[in-house]
Structure 1
Amino acid sequence: MIGKLSEFVDKKVHFIGIGGCGMSALAAYLHKHGAVVSGSDCRGTPFMEPLLHRNIPLYIGHDTEKMPACDLVIVTPAVKPDNCELQKAVAQNIPIIRRGEFLGRILSDQKTIAVAGAHGKTSTAALIAWMLHYAGFVPSALVGGIMENFEANFVLQNGSWTVTEADESDGSIKWFSPEISVILNVDDDHIENYGSTDSMLAHYRTLVSQTSGSVILNNTDQVLSCWQSDRIIHFGQRNSFHVDEKTVHYDSQGVTFVLEHAEMQKRDVFLPVPGRFFVSNFLAAVTACVTAGLTVEQCIDAAQSFKGVKRRGQDWGCVDGVRIIEDYAHHPTEISAILEVYRRCYSGKIACVFQPHRFTRSKQIAPLLADSFRNADSLIITDIYSADEHVMQGINGEYVFQHICQKRAGGCLYISHLNDVVEYLEQKKNEFQLIIFMGAGSIGICAKQFKALLQSMVSI
């Protein structure tokens, strides 16, 4: 039985797939608390470098000969049953547990703020961590992206609070029992892992019931607004932190708005990150942090220096009159929200390069995507990023493209390979004020290559 974090001092824990964002953060956290950590991955990733600096033994490729003796094996959902290291652990009766479940279990006796929801978890968790840090609470944090303020996907400090994400994608949300929980929104984003909406909502309700303190919910979410209890705080309504939409203004530098609460004077807020979701994320973060003991002023001051999360509206700069943005959005709701904000900020034409994510996901959402791109003047669809999924017959980038074309009146191209996308954009660059590279896979490579190409042309 997996129990308290203190039980893992000197225990040998091996991570299969340690190069992932969440896995590497958990490995560092365990290492800090006295575990003997090792790990492998099929490929090298930037997330492995901080672990090497901590002298954590890692190796590329899965190899039973290199796999050290261990007391526990932690895996991600991406690890297939035929993985040789996983099979070795099974044969030797070594306990095996998924990352999300393990994280939830070991944090059960810690002062934890857990952020859940279909969209915005990483940005909100990063903002909460920054607010706590700015106010001198020296928190630890484990999130699903690179927090620009900390330049890492984790921060390990000696304060009492730990901030993390409770991931709903694989059902591991039910293993968390935090002191404060935040649920931003719910939708059917990962319904394939639950079988039904009722089953998915039951997992969220389990998180609520297992939270020892306050439960912070988004009042603008149709489902969450109906949930009631003495411990629930709904942000976004008049007797809690809320924002009058008329006060919200976007530009290329970020978003400004007026924060309101029935028990305080109105406050002007500036967030140096773009996006409609960030206003809602801020309301969630300030509610959580005030509940944890911060003042409203500390939260607002911290927000002004919040740098966001890498790949969430990441600005790669403006080269030869073309602004280059990369964003992690890959779900219709996220895509629509991001493009809506940039449409307000830029008067010129906007091009969007979209890399669909996973075959199963692409099959599910392809019929829903067309309207999400309505604020893009030009749209390029690439091949699907598999994320190690097996190929599905007939499901590819062209499949997504055809579904979009059925509802979109022109301005859409299918270019399968990223290198060809860069070449195409080189010819068309003067037509656009903004080009957004969007997706959760390798699309960032395309953004970097395009920027480098423009810079080389300018310097000639």
Structure 2
Amino acid sequence: MNQPWSGRKLHFVGIGGVGMSGLAKVARILGADVTGSDRSLDGHAAANVPEGAEVVYSSAIPPDNPERTTGAPELHRADLLAELTQLKPTIAVSGTHGKTTTSSMLVHALPGQSYLVGGEVRSTGTNADWNADSDWLIVEADESDRSLLKLHPTIAVVTNAELDHHTTYASSRDVDDTFAMFLARARDAVVAPDLTRLRADAHVFGEFDGELSVPGAHNRRNAGAALTAIELTGGDVQAAAGRLATFAGAGRRFEVVGTAHGATVVDDYAHHPTEVRATIEAARTQPASRVIALFQPHLFSRTQREATAFGKALANADLAILLDVYPAREEAADYPGVSGLTLVRSTLDARPGMPVFWARTHENARRFLQETLQNGDLLLTMGAGDVNTIGRDLVAHSEPPGR
């Protein structure tokens, strides 16, 4: 047992979040006394923080949160993750897209390793675990707030690089510089073919050409990245490739939720135009009479900046349904005129005459889909907010279609 962890008091603000819950689980396995609170449970209050506890927070928790104003020592979640990366040789996976899936592929293909992933690994049923006897720790490295630069990777993977988080990065060059600094922290680096500029001696991955149960060219690239990292660990690449044939994916990554009114419902975390396009393209490889895209924009700033790209991506569906923006940490008043309707217009600009429904609310979307879904349809619920609740509700209350 690592003594600095045993008996340590850690209080997690927002413990229900997928990243925070994984850290809390591992900290508890290591012997820490863990407490936490979440907005979706009983809310936040200063009284929730135990005496003598360190307060662990993420970039999503503002400084004026009552649990951050108690005077207790504070620790950003990335600092805690950084401590863990010093306990074992670490494979850290970053990139604008594909981090969670690639990390989950590594967990599945290298059974028995310790890991913290930003989504549930379906084959293990959880997002994190700690095995004292494991040789490696597999982690997802977050670039959204540059916290990846706090980690201590042995092998660093960058799946791709795009400008996405505009409040963090000033330009694409700024993104590149950050990923280059991340890669420089590692013994070995793994990058996409177009990213060798980030580190001259990096190992380049290609598309995996073996059996893979999750669809899409993007997942073949994710598998290629995972197998290249496994080769650098000295692991059995052939055995790992064989295990990928049974990889069922990660939570909210092309996750088949069930059937509703004769349609297959698939949920995906896609919230950037590149991800939306890749998810729709993956859906096109499935036997479906129509691909219906239900999309919930995430952040007003991203919606405003990427409106044209979102429209072009959504235009690849047979029918698009738009919800209003999931604001997260932003305020609508700061972005006048920006809403889900912005993407209705950009989608119609990209493909005039395409059927596009401005649902705005969850209830309107649910009602529309109940009347619209047919046998053989594939419904994609996409977004980083709570759009997934619509698909799950449709599946839970579905009746056999009368068509």
TM bin (shorter chain): over 0.9
Where do 5+ consecutive residues of structure 2 fail to align?
A: none
Per the alignment, residue 247 of structure 2 pairs with 306
SS in structure 2 opposite 1:330?
A: coil
* Cα displacement (A) at 1:336: 0.8
TM-score by length of 2: 0.93
Could you tell me how far apart the structure 2 residues matched to 1:175 and 1:105 are?
9
Per the alignment, residue 273 of structure 1 pairs with 214
1:429 aligns to 2:373 (yes or no): yes
Could you tell me how far apart the structure 1 residues matched to 2:53 and 2:288 are?
58
* Cα displacement (A) at 1:303: 0.6
SS in structure 1 opposite 2:270?
A: coil
Larger mean CA deviation between 16-25 and 387-396 belongs to 387-396
1:413 aligns to 2:357 (yes or no): yes
Inter-CA distance 363–98: structure 2 relative to 1 (3 Å threshold): farther
The match for 1:402 among 322, 341, 345 is 345
1:376-425 per-residue CA deviation (whole Å, 9 max, x = no partner) reads 01101011122243333332222332333333312111111112112111
* Cα displacement (A) at 1:432: 6.0
Per the alignment, residue 132 of structure 1 pairs with 110
Q: Over the residues paired in the alignment, what is the CA RMSD in angstroms?
A: 2.1
Could you tell me how far apart the structure 2 residues matched to 1:24 and 1:351 are?
32
Per the alignment, residue 23 of structure 1 pairs with 20
Could you tell me how far apart the structure 2 residues matched to 1:272 and 1:281 are?
13
SS in structure 2 opposite 1:430?
A: coil
* Cα displacement (A) at 1:429: 1.7
1:66 aligns to 2:83 (yes or no): no
- Work out which structure has the larger RCO, using CA pairs closer than 8 Å and 6 or more positions apart in sequence: 2
* Cα displacement (A) at 1:367: 2.5
Where do 5+ consecutive residues of structure 1 fail to align?
A: 45-59, 237-241, 244-256, 258-268
SS in structure 2 opposite 1:289?
A: helix
Per the alignment, residue 235 of structure 1 pairs with 205
Kindly indicate whether the alpha-carbon contact (under 8 Å) linking 1:357 and 1:384 is maintained by their aligned counterparts in 2: yes
Identity of aligned residues (%): 31
1:335-377 per-residue CA deviation (whole Å, 9 max, x = no partner) reads 1111112223335222111111122222222222111123201
Kindly indicate whether the alpha-carbon contact (under 8 Å) linking 1:343 and 1:375 is maintained by their aligned counterparts in 2: no
AA partner of residue 13 (structure 1): L
Per the alignment, residue 324 of structure 2 pairs with 383
1:17-43 per-residue CA deviation (whole Å, 9 max, x = no partner) reads 111000010111111112222111111
* Cα displacement (A) at 1:293: 2.3
Per the alignment, residue 173 of structure 2 pairs with 198
SS in structure 2 opposite 1:215?
A: strand
AA partner of residue 66 (structure 2): C
Kindly indicate whether the alpha-carbon contact (under 8 Å) linking 1:112 and 1:179 is maintained by their aligned counterparts in 2: yes
Per the alignment, residue 197 of structure 2 pairs with 226
Could you tell me how far apart the structure 1 residues matched to 2:85 and 2:374 are?
52
Kindly indicate whether the alpha-carbon contact (under 8 Å) linking 1:349 and 1:431 is maintained by their aligned counterparts in 2: no
Question: Residues 50-449 of structure 1: matches in 2 within 5 Å?
Answer: 60-88=42-70, 92=71, 94-133=72-111, 138-158=112-132, 159-211=134-186, 213-219=187-193, 221=194, 224-230=195-201, 232-236=202-206, 257=209, 269-346=210-287, 348-392=289-333, 393-410=336-353, 411-430=355-374, 433-449=377-393
Kindly indicate whether the alpha-carbon contact (under 8 Å) linking 2:312 and 2:346 is maintained by their aligned counterparts in 1: no
TM-score by length of 1: 0.82
Kindly indicate whether the alpha-carbon contact (under 8 Å) linking 2:49 and 2:55 is maintained by their aligned counterparts in 1: no
Could you tell me how far apart the structure 2 residues matched to 1:324 and 1:30 are?
35
Kindly indicate whether the alpha-carbon contact (under 8 Å) linking 1:356 and 1:439 is maintained by their aligned counterparts in 2: yes
Kindly indicate whether the alpha-carbon contact (under 8 Å) linking 1:330 and 1:438 is maintained by their aligned counterparts in 2: yes
Kindly indicate whether the alpha-carbon contact (under 8 Å) linking 2:16 and 2:37 is maintained by their aligned counterparts in 1: yes
Kindly indicate whether the alpha-carbon contact (under 8 Å) linking 1:13 and 1:38 is maintained by their aligned counterparts in 2: yes
* Cα displacement (A) at 1:149: 0.5
Kindly indicate whether the alpha-carbon contact (under 8 Å) linking 1:366 and 1:403 is maintained by their aligned counterparts in 2: yes
Kindly indicate whether the alpha-carbon contact (under 8 Å) linking 1:215 and 1:233 is maintained by their aligned counterparts in 2: yes
Kindly indicate whether the alpha-carbon contact (under 8 Å) linking 1:351 and 1:432 is maintained by their aligned counterparts in 2: no
1:262-301 per-residue CA deviation (whole Å, 9 max, x = no partner) reads xxxxxxx211111221100111111111221221221122
* Cα displacement (A) at 1:7: 2.7
Could you tell me how far apart the structure 2 residues matched to 1:365 and 1:18 are?
31
AA partner of residue 442 (structure 1): D
1:206-229 per-residue CA deviation (whole Å, 9 max, x = no partner) reads 211111x2111111x3xx133443
SS in structure 1 opposite 2:15?
A: coil
Kindly indicate whether the alpha-carbon contact (under 8 Å) linking 1:177 and 1:207 is maintained by their aligned counterparts in 2: no
Inter-CA distance 365–77: structure 2 relative to 1 (3 Å threshold): same
Could you tell me how far apart the structure 1 residues matched to 2:48 and 2:286 are?
52
Kindly indicate whether the alpha-carbon contact (under 8 Å) linking 1:325 and 1:434 is maintained by their aligned counterparts in 2: yes
Kindly indicate whether the alpha-carbon contact (under 8 Å) linking 1:358 and 1:387 is maintained by their aligned counterparts in 2: yes
1:145-167 per-residue CA deviation (whole Å, 9 max, x = no partner) reads 11101111112222121100110
SS in structure 2 opposite 1:280?
A: helix
* Cα displacement (A) at 1:168: 0.2
Runs of at least 4 residues off by over 4 Å: none
Inter-CA distance 139–431: structure 2 relative to 1 (3 Å threshold): closer
Per the alignment, residue 54 of structure 1 pairs with none
Could you tell me how far apart the structure 1 residues matched to 2:239 and 2:352 are?
48
* Cα displacement (A) at 1:61: 1.4
